[in-house]
A and B are shown apart, each in its own frame.
Chain A
Amino acid sequence: MSAEAVHAESFIRRYLFSTDHKTIGKQYLLTAFFMGLFAVGWSILIRIQLAWPHANLPLLSRLFPGLYQDGVLLPERYLSLVTMHGTVMVFFVISFALVSGFGNFIIPLHIGARDMAYPVLNMLSYWTAVPACILMIASFFVPDGAAAAGWTAYPPLSALPQAVPGSGWGQTLWLLGMALFIASFTMGSLNFVTTILNLRTKGMSMFRMPLTVWTLFISSVLGILAFPALTAAAIMLLLDRHGGTSFFLPSGLVVGGQVLEHSGGTPLLFQHLFWFLGHPEVYILVLPAIGIAFDVVAVFGRRPVFGYRTSIWALLVIGVLSMIVWGHHMFTSGMNPYLGEYFSVATVAITVPFAVLGMNLIASLWRAEIRLHPAMLFALAMIAAIGLGGLGGLWLGTASSDMYLHDSYFVVGHFHFMIGVVTAFGIFAGTYYWFPKMFGRMIDQRLGKIHFWATSVGVFFAFIAMHFLGLGGVLRRTYDPTAYEYTASVTWLNLPISIALFLAAAAQVVFLVNFFWSMFRGQKAEANPWEAATLEWTTPSPAPHLNWRELPSVFRGPYEYRTDGRAAGYRSQVVPDEPPAEVRA
């Protein structure tokens, strides 16, 4: 089978029900952007509420009659907004774009395969994800509104349909959507792991794979190991809601003055099962972003990445440890104090391999000749975000300080650095970097830089400031930030935070315009515009069906830059001769 056997395919088969990994990757990426519009939109409504809590907003009231009444956001809808923003961002934007999008697009190209191991399963994965998106969005249109129990869906709130308005149909749709998402993600992970293990081209040993592939590999393995716990929890929660079981419901609950029939269960169990997935999930998302940063820093810094192998070992250690630290989300749940101490120690231990990754990224810049392409800018800023988020993590991982900080805006600031900034910047870096290979055209750099600076100023200001809100005692998920007298000295920060985030949101408009404009009107791209050494740049842009005419053979690692002492000098992975002794510049 050679790549030129291009067939007359119908539009449907080519773009909709395609089994080509590149098309599926792009479908996921575009779906992520589409879902991102919703998630960002909801966050804007949240920030408006927090910036001007008592304002009358007749226009919004007219636009969203379900959410507002008489110009005021309904408190229960505020909870729906935070819930859906979190859920959609984590699972339907970041996971779609970073893991499913880039994963599908880049894994076969990076390891020299024609496609995924099981392309039909891959297509199935995408077409399971689409109804999941529809269910999530649909939950805003059911009578009682979307789920309102937080993206963590803690019972009893989520288990009792009569508890709050959003606990009705909205919560059920949320659970069904999540179930479909998990099925889709699992199918994707099966393909990723199998493909990476079995379909590498000649000479592509595991220790010659780019770090992006390594991070995607570990993310997929984590998903395979951790998601079943959430599946089990979701099934039990559905049974509690609709089958009358009491897995998560203790006796003596009173709702609306009525004592409930349930007895014998415990909500603590759900927290454990949720975070058994929840914590690995955040690493599933952050690791591919870091992997992309490594690749981008090497290409645009014209340096081999520092400590390629130590990074891989650090990734493996992170993978193992991330499965056994979930309890740090539950320090205040009344958990067994010995167990809490254990989780605290394990959590702080995980910062060590994490710091190794961060330091390796920084050390890769040593004597680099940096080309400030937008991809590189995003990768560099990501390093800063990793540091800031990690520092916050240390405070939170220490049980004694977490007692004070838990459920405050400090946590919100921490995880937005990690799961917001790092991952989003990974998506952007990857998009700017691989755009030529995806669409055969160059993306505009000037608009890219505007996008970068506006986004960075906005998010860094906002999320650093949120840490101070948290230190001042402001709790997350509060509808009215002026409700507590004792936080009055810090809540003024809400207005500048909102303005900073509006700036960042506006920057995304620039990005989308740039993206679609360049897709059709951008300058035509050559096969290897960045002088990069990895395999995807040895095939034309855009990559043809089945990727290569002849599968390439690999002779060296992925990061041989400045091999002749000059910044432009590099050796592609397919160059056969052994490098002479004076490789080091």
Chain B
Amino acid sequence: MERITPYRTYWLVWIVLLALTLSMIVAEGAPLARGLVVSFILLAMLLKVTMIGAWYMHLRLERAALILSVVLATFVTAAALFFLLVPEAISLPQAGP
């Protein structure tokens, strides 16, 4: 890595990460529509992961090729597994509402 990140940045990210975590916990108990809560939590989750990847793992400073390969490979594979399993799971006879 050529460019040096100031220490301050790491701790700013830390504050945001903690705030996001806190907001997730608060949202879980909030009297809102379930769909809204779930979307918010998932969004915050992805945001946290992105921030850790970008700043702490320094993906921000890497080449686009590395970022794309690593991130796409992982997420597309995991998403393929997950989203092709969902229709199967909910169509099983014992599945809940």
Contact = CB atoms under 8 A, between A and B. Distances in A.
B88 A272 contact: yes
Interface string A101-125: 0000000000000000000000000
A339 B73 contact: no
A268 B73 contact: no
B81 A339 contact: no
Contacts of A229: 81
A250 B91 CA distance: 16
B87 interface: yes
A488 interface: no
Contact of B88 (A221, A276, A339): A339
A225 B73 contact: yes
Nearest to A324: B80
Contacts of A221: 73
B92 interface: yes
Chain A interface size range:
10 to 19
A323 B84 contact: no
A323 B88 contact: no
B78 to A, nearest CB: 10
B80 A339 contact: no
B96 to A, nearest CB: 12
Given A225-B73, A225-B77, A324 B84 contact: yes
Contact of A323 (B80, B87, B91): B80
Contacts of B85: 269, 272
B87 A338 contact: yes
Given A327-B84, A336-B87, A268 B92 contact: yes
Contacts of A335: 88
Contacts of A272: 84-85, 88
A203 B29 CA distance: 60
Nearest to A229: B81
A207 to B, nearest CB: 15
A323 B92 contact: no
Interface string B64-77: 00000000010001
A327 B87 CA distance: 12
A487 interface: no
A336 B88 contact: yes
Interface in A205-229: 221, 225-226, 229
Most chain-A CB neighbours within 10 Å: which of B84, B85, B88, B91? B88
Given A229-B81, A323-B80, 19 more contacts: A221-B73, A225-B73, A225-B77, A226-B77, A266-B92, A268-B92, A269-B85, A272-B84, A272-B85, A323-B77, A324-B80, A324-B84, A327-B84, A335-B88, A336-B88, A338-B87, A339-B87, A339-B88, A342-B84
